[in-house]
Amino acid sequence: MSLSSVANQATGSSLPPLNIAMVGHAFMGRAHGNAYRQANRFFDLPRAVVPYVVVGRDQERAEAAAQKLGFLRATTDLDAVLADPDVHVVDVATPNDSHHAIAMAALRAKKHVLCEKPLAMTLAQAKEMAALAKKQKVRVGLWHNYRRAPAVAQAAKMIARGDLGAIRQVRAVYLQDWLADASVPASWRTSRKACGSGAHGDLNAHLVDLTRALTGLQFESVCGVQQTFTRQRPDGRGGMAKVDVDDAFLFLARFQGGAIGSYEATRVAQGRKNHNCLEISGEKGSIRWNLERMNELEVFLVDEPRDAQGFRTVICMDSVHPYAANWWPDGHIVGYEHTFVHHVADFVRALHDGSAFAPNFDDGVAVQAVLDAALQSAKDGGFVKVPR
Ligand SMILES: NC(=O)c1ccc[n+]([C@@H]2O[C@H](COP(=O)([O-])OP(=O)(O)OC[C@H]3O[C@@H](n4cnc5c(N)ncnc54)[C@H](O)[C@@H]3O)[C@@H](O)[C@H]2O)c1
């Protein structure tokens, strides 16, 4: 019996399978693996999503992950996975410096690709990936999962229908504190060679994507400043490793059309755990969303009676809100992991009916252009134009 038929039996579904090969199986591997298992249970999809194979660097660890995450098997042989005609989608859930090589190999093998963010280490790499995806006529997605929090999708809907009027300002912060302690060991996240930049590529990448998704604004120029507070960390072998990425990275932005924005990404903001928060102000109102209260949207609209005005909180888990009806009765809230399930469900539908899926690699290129320009600005000083 082929693995594909095992896959169908495993899902108990008569739908055509969509077999996923997931490269990397740690933090994001767990989040993606969970999403693949949940997608068909909560969304009516045209394909049965099958967690098919985990690809790792160590067979034993990959097997343990496959078992825990509900994949059919594990391997360390990526080439064999790419040569397998039963593999439909390759999921890149590895550190940043491997995204380009793995995604390019998967695209050459004509697989659909879901890649973790940031798409690449440089704008040039990102452009290459986007171009190859188009040439191979496969579908691609980028895991900027926060777009698919119900409250974020609701905010995007309200901004698109003009509730806030023309957008004037974006105030965005992504604050964490897990590197505030100098004794936290070095990792790929503190090495420029492995990740490109620190809080910037990790956290500002999400803020830039969210800005684009929510407002449609095009970044015109940026002016950045960065700081590394701890310049070496324990290497786990009794020595110290150099830290050559930013702990904190702030930048100002000018958008086409005259809007302006401020951005702050940090991993040393004591007390802040995962404070991913955007406040967007337009001519007719403002909206604020914070991941730590992710089902809530704070809304202020000037059209409301003056004597009753003020920010009010909308719980975006009513059946009228995006994604909410797929889960529970009104007001029964969802969490971080649901954003990944939504991402998978939307991708499967787009794959089936040929509709657009965002964010894709073109969006990844646009985000990378902003990130690279801000890095250049932090190095050289002054505003730097964001390349098109
Ligand atoms: N969307 C989000 O909200 C979000 C959150 C965290 C991380 N990320 C992104 O996800 C990616 C992975 O981050 P993570 O937190 O899961 O990291 P992690 O360190 O927890 O896991 C990385 C995994 O990749 C494996 N790996 C490393 N190099 C590999 C290679 N060359 N080939 C195959 N496997 C390899 C490791 O063994 C491990 O299983 C990063 O690009 C990161 O920026 C995104």
Residue 284 and residue 269: Cα distance in Å, rounded?
32
- Residue 34: strand, helix, or coil: helix
Q: Which domain holds residue 52?
A: 3-145
The 48-55 sheet, strands edge to edge: 73-75, 48-55, 17-23, 89-92, 112-115, 140-142
Q: What is the CATH number of the domain that holds 225?
A: 3.30.360.10
Model pLDDT, residue 326: 98
Residues 27 and 11 in one domain: yes
Helices 27-42/59-69 angle, 10° precision = 30
Residues 265 and 370 in one domain: yes
Atom 36 of ligand 1: nearest residue by CA position: 24
**Ligand 1 mean position, distance from CA 92 (Å):** 8
Domain boundary among 105, 122, 145: 145
Ligand 1 within 6 A of CB of 364? no
Residues 380 and 349 in one domain: yes
Residues 119 and 106 in one domain: yes
Model pLDDT, residue 388: 87
Name residue 140's amino acid: V
Residues 36 and 99 in one domain: yes
Residues 244 and 296 in one domain: yes
Residues 136 and 158 in one domain: no
**Ligand 1 mean position, distance from CA 118 (Å):** 11
Please say whether the beta carbons of 31 and 62 come within 8 A.
no
**Ligand 1 mean position, distance from CA 159 (Å):** 33
3-state SS string for 265-288: EECCCCCCCCEEEEEEEECCEEEE
Model pLDDT, residue 362: 98
Give the model confidence (pLDDT) of 256-265 as tens digits. Answer: 999 999 999 9
Please say whether the beta carbons of 62 and 56 come within 8 A.
yes
Residues 262 and 379 in one domain: yes
Atom 27 of ligand 1: nearest residue by CA position: 94
The structure's pTM equals: 0.97
Domain count, the chain: 2
Q: What is the CATH number of the domain that holds 103?
A: 3.40.50.720
**Ligand 1 mean position, distance from CA 308 (Å):** 48
Give the model confidence (pLDDT) of 104-144 as tens digits. Answer: 999 999 999 999 999 999 999 999 999 999 999 999 999 99
- Ligand 1 binding pocket mutation candidate from 116, 152, 197, 208 (most atoms within 8 A of CB): 116
Model pLDDT, residue 13: 81
Q: Which residues of the chain have pLDDT under 70?
A: 1-11
- Ligand 1 binding pocket mutation candidate from 28, 68, 102, 146 (most atoms within 8 A of CB): 28
Ligand 1 within 6 A of CB of 94? yes
Residues 57 and 159 in one domain: no
Ligand 1 within 6 A of CB of 199? no
Model pLDDT, residue 352: 96
Please say whether the beta carbons of 242 and 190 come within 8 A.
no
In the block, tokens 């095009």 appear at 218
Atom 21 of ligand 1: nearest residue by CA position: 26
Residues 34 and 181 in one domain: no
Residue 372 and residue 362: Cα distance in Å, rounded?
15
Phi-psi region of 58 (alpha: psi -120 to 50; beta: other; left: phi over 0): beta
Please say whether the beta carbons of 34 and 342 come within 8 A.
no
Model pLDDT, residue 347: 98
Domain boundary among 91, 113, 145: 145
Residues 141 and 207 in one domain: no
**Ligand 1 mean position, distance from CA 97 (Å):** 10
**Ligand 1 mean position, distance from CA 280 (Å):** 31
Residues 52 and 31 in one domain: yes
Ligand 1 within 6 A of CB of 24? yes
**Ligand 1 mean position, distance from CA 93 (Å):** 5
Domain boundary among 104, 128, 145: 145
**Ligand 1 mean position, distance from CA 166 (Å):** 38
